[in-house]
């Protein structure tokens, strides 16, 4: 593997320096948030700053010029950026996590992406059921239509999930690395909130994917292994996204909620009620709302970040996650996201008529939280019962968990 093209890079940037860079961007992200929402993608000033500071490459292997930070950054960087704008944090969480995922691929695929451009954006379509693959000489032929491809406007590649069938029976679950020239981006992202994520639909028809760009995700198959891990030995690359993938965007929910709390506190400090002239801060109900919101946000942050730190410790010690632990993490992520939504709902309601104006930032944070809460990772109906079943002695079988 030739990684010489990775320079100049960010391999010397520490965790503390990366967090400082993310904090430094928060004022810019707040200033640009409305512009990003209007454009339905991140603006040029935001993307330029992210690339200049390397904040899309904090999980990329050092051999390719990335920071290769510990897995705690999986949560911490998106959470920090989302204090400025959740859509920015969300795009960074997705694109940075795909830099991490690419470390699993065959080194030849890594060379094709990072050798040409180590800053290359990589989007995804992660629903296996939306993609169909069939074996072809030297690889796969795939078809599909994948929605919610966040940040795709900023990407040259996409990781598209497919079920491979033979005689109409599933035989493998795979991610296919596909260049932008081989798929269509459908401009259908007209939504309530999270507009700047540009989470559009991508589709392709009869696209050939060579074998080295196909990665089996059938982790339940005995002897399953990712070829890239022969090269990238950092334990964090062994941590399964299937168990913790929602935590990086859950971090965005936390950051957005912190932004909303700060905005609401500033409103209360500055405002008397319009009808009585009484200071808002003197209402015990206002005090209770603010305090309860702060407690819920802290609780959400603690439970999700603890999962990330625990997984890092387990894999650093040479261990692995059992099924119940994986499902516990997914349970915690969904509940943490719900706590953030509850906090913002209460703060937005407290804002009264001020909260309905387009120019009032809390209104956008409220819409963004409600839109983000629709993500499958945050569905209490989907994510809580599996852990409950296993905890009660039942069994969950999944080819990709």
Q: What is the pLDDT of residues 15-40, one digit of tens each?
A: 999 999 999 999 999 999 999 999 99
Of residues 279 and 54, which shows the higher confidence score? 54
Question: Can you identify the CATH homologous superfamily of domain 7-115?
Answer: Acyl-CoA dehydrogenase/oxidase, N-terminal domain (1.10.540.10)
CA distance 248 to 228: 22
| Residue 176 three-state SS | strand
Residue 144: phi and psi, rounded to 5, are 165, 170
At residue 6, the pLDDT reads 43
At residue 211, the pLDDT reads 98
> What is the location of CATH 1.10.540.10 in the chain?
7-115
- The tokens describing 291, both together, are 């305090």
Centroid of chain to Cα 113:
20
Task: Kindly state the average pLDDT of the residues 317-325.
Answer: 97
Question: Can you identify the CATH homologous superfamily of domain 239-391?
Answer: Butyryl-CoA Dehydrogenase, subunit A, domain 3 (1.20.140.10)
Residue given tokens 């639909």 in the structure block: 201
DSSP 197: G
At residue 166, the pLDDT reads 94
The architecture of the domain spanning 122-217 is Beta Barrel (2.40)
Model-level pTM? 0.97
At residue 2, the pLDDT reads 59
CA distance 387 to 235: 25
Position 364 pLDDT exceeds 60: yes
> What is the location of CATH 2.40.110.10 in the chain?
122-217
> What is the location of CATH 1.20.140.10 in the chain?
239-391
223-243 confidence digits (pLDDT tens): 999 999 999 999 999 999 999
CA distance 20 to 17: 5
Residue 14: phi and psi, rounded to 5, are -85, 170
């Amino acid at each position: 593997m030739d990684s010489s093209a990775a320079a100049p890079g960010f391999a010397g940037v520490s965790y503390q320096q990366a967090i400082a860079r993310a904090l430094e961007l928060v004022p810019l992200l707040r200033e640009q948030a409305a512009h990003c929402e209007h454009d339905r993608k991140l603006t040029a000033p935001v993307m330029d700053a992210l690339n200049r500071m390397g904040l899309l490459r904090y999980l990329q292997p050092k051999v390719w010029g990335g920071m290769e930070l510990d897995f705690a950054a999986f949560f911490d960087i998106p959470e920090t950026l989302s204090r400025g704008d959740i859509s920015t944090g969300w795009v960074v969480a997705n694109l940075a996590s795909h830099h991490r995922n690419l470390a699993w691929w065959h080194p030849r695929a890594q060379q094709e992406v990072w050798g040409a451009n180590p800053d290359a954006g990589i989007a995804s379509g992660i629903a296996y059921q939306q993609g169909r693959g069939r074996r072809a000489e030297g690889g796969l032929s795939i078809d599909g239509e994948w929605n919610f491809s966040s940040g795709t406007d900023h990407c040259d590649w996409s990781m598209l999930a497919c079920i491979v069938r033979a005689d109409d029976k599933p035989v493998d679950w795979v991610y296919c690395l596909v260049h932008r020239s081989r798929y269509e981006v459908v401009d259908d992202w007209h939504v309530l909130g999270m507009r700047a994520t540009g989470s559009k639909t991508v589709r392709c028809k009869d696209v050939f994917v060579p074998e080295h760009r196909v990665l089996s995700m059938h982790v339940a198959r005995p002897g399953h292994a990712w070829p890239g891990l022969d090269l990238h030995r950092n334990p964090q690359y062994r941590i399964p996204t299937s168990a913790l993938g929602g935590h990086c965007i859950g971090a965005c929910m936390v950051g957005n909620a912190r932004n909303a709390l700060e905005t609401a506190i500033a409103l209360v400090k500055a405002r008397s009620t319009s009808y009585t002239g009484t200071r808002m801060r003197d209402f015990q109900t206002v005090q209770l709302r603010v305090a309860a919101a702060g407690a819920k946000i802290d609780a959400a942050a603690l439970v999700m970040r603890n999962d990330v730190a625990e997984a890092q410790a387990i894999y650093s010690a040479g261990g692995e996650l059992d099924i119940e632990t994986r499902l516990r993490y997914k349970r915690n992520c969904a509940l943490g996201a719900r706590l953030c939504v509850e906090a913002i709902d209460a703060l937005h309601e407290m804002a009264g008529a001020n909260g309905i104006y387009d120019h009032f930032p809390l209104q956008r944070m409220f819409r963004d939280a409600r839109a983000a809460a629709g993500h499958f990772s945050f569905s209490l109906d989907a994510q809580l019962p599996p852990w409950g079943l296993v905890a009660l002695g039942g069994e969950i079988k999944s080819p990709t968990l």
